[in-house]
Structure formats: structure tokens, C-alpha cells
Structure 1
């Protein structure tokens, strides 16, 4: 079975390293982008089974990135998980309205993150 590929779009290097470590150890191939513009470019050029998108980023925030992903026919079917430090209900509502499949509040629990990635990509444990 081919390795499932995840694109992590996150401006914080520490968080990107966290995702790389946790998801990489679980058997996923993880690529990174440091902002929404870079994330959209990488998504358009590659094939990904899941995208994890931070909300608060420079150049293009997560809401705009998810909106653009859902408008792009070649990307529309990719599951997108948004993640943020914002715990207010309206932030999750905005993410879902943009087209997110799931909204997680930081910090993400490593075991839950891996389980969510497996469920959304169809990867085996």
C-alpha cells in the first residue's frame, strides 16, 4: 500500500516539526508549507491525501486557503483539517463555512491527530 501524503500548512516552525514528528512516526509522508500562498502552490503541484491548515498565517490565512482549495476542481476532494489557537465557536463556524472537514484547537493531542489522519485518509494502523 502506498504511503499517504499529508500537506501541513503552518507558519510556526515548531508546530511544523511537531506534525512532521508525530505523523511521520505514524507512517505518513509529510510535506510542509510556511504560509497559505506556498500551501496552495504545493497543493496544486502535488498529490495529497490530507491537508492540515493553520488558520492564522501571513500572506493568506487558513480560511482563504480552504476557500480556494474548495473552488479548485483538482483539490476539492482533499480532506482539510483546520487548526488554530482560537477556541471561540465562530472561528470553527468560519472554518466549516470555508469548507473544512474538521476544526481542531491547538495544541493537538498526538494520538488524536494520528487517528484523525488515519480516518480521513483511509490509512491502516
Structure 2
């Protein structure tokens, strides 16, 4: 997994300056180009970014794999939001969402689902299961304003 190296400048851009830390976003996508694009957009919005190439890696990072104890992510890093692709091999973004929302420790973390397919039944299913938002790919810099709004709502 790539752990983003983000300078600590202009956190106040997100309105987080008083809290001294950049929001930490876990970005999950099996497509390298899409993953790098999301990572770049988030870093440009002054977020710390960790990436995972699939749902199992994301669960591993969060400490939710079946063979791990159900503790906060093993690395001890707090995640403020998870953004995941819907269509991934092995575990879909929807299945990842369900696992996160079933966790007593992680269920409050906002999860954003992204997809290149605009399928209303899929979107509704994700939102009903607890997704904060559903965004169409490719994400653009303008989409970061919506994500910042979600981060602001859920900051601790």
C-alpha cells in the first residue's frame, strides 16, 4: 500500500487548521490510474491519503480482516473517510461498505462509493446500506468540494 507523504501546509483550506491535522482518507480502487487520480485530487485538497488496490487490502489496513483482531487499524492511524470504487474483483465496494458498517469501531467513518456506471438501483442500494455519497468517475477537482463537506460534517 502507498502511504501518502503530504506536507502539513494549508490544512485550513479544509477548515481543519484548528485541529492541527490533515484529514486522512483511505482511497480504494483496483485501477492504478483511477487510484492515482483520486490520490492526487485528495492531496491537492490537503488530505493525507493512503491507497489500497482492493477491498481485502483496505480491510487489512483497517484491521478488519477475519484473521485480525477487531481493533482500530493496526497501524494506529485514524481514518476520517474511505472512498472506494464499486466494481473491484474479489470484493466490491458495496461489500467493503457493508463490512465497515458492520464494525462497531469503524461504522461511523463516512464511506463514499465511486463508479463509472450511473445505475440508479446500485446507487440507492449503496446509500441505503450507509454510504455517505455516490460519485461518478472520473472524479474531478470540483468533486473535492463535496468530499470536503462530508469531512467537515464528520470531523472529531
CA RMSD of aligned residues (A): 1.4
Aligned residues: 122
Q: Distance in 1 between matches of 2:25 and 2:104?
A: 19
Contact 2:27-2:38 at 8 Å conserved across structures: yes
Contact 2:38-2:139 at 8 Å conserved across structures: no
Q: Which residue of 1 aligns with 2:110?
A: 79
Q: Which residue of 2 aligns with 1:122?
A: 152
Contact 2:34-2:138 at 8 Å conserved across structures: no
Q: Distance in 2 between matches of 1:101 and 1:15?
A: 20
Structure 1 gaps, min length 5: none
1:106 aligns with 2:142: no
Extract structure 1 runs of 4+ deviating beyond 2 A: none
Q: Distance in 1 between matches of 2:62 and 2:132?
A: 17
| Equivalent of residue 5 in structure 1, options 24, 27, 52 | 24
User: Cα distance, 1:55 vs. partner?
Assistant: 0.5
Contact 1:3-1:27 at 8 Å conserved across structures: yes
Q: Which residue of 1 aligns with 2:98?
A: 67
Structure 2 gaps, min length 5: 1-19, 64-72
Q: Which residue of 1 aligns with 2:41?
A: 22
Q: Distance in 2 between matches of 1:43 and 1:6?
A: 12
User: Cα distance, 1:4 vs. partner?
Assistant: 0.5
Contact 1:8-1:33 at 8 Å conserved across structures: yes
Give the structure with the higher percent helix: 1
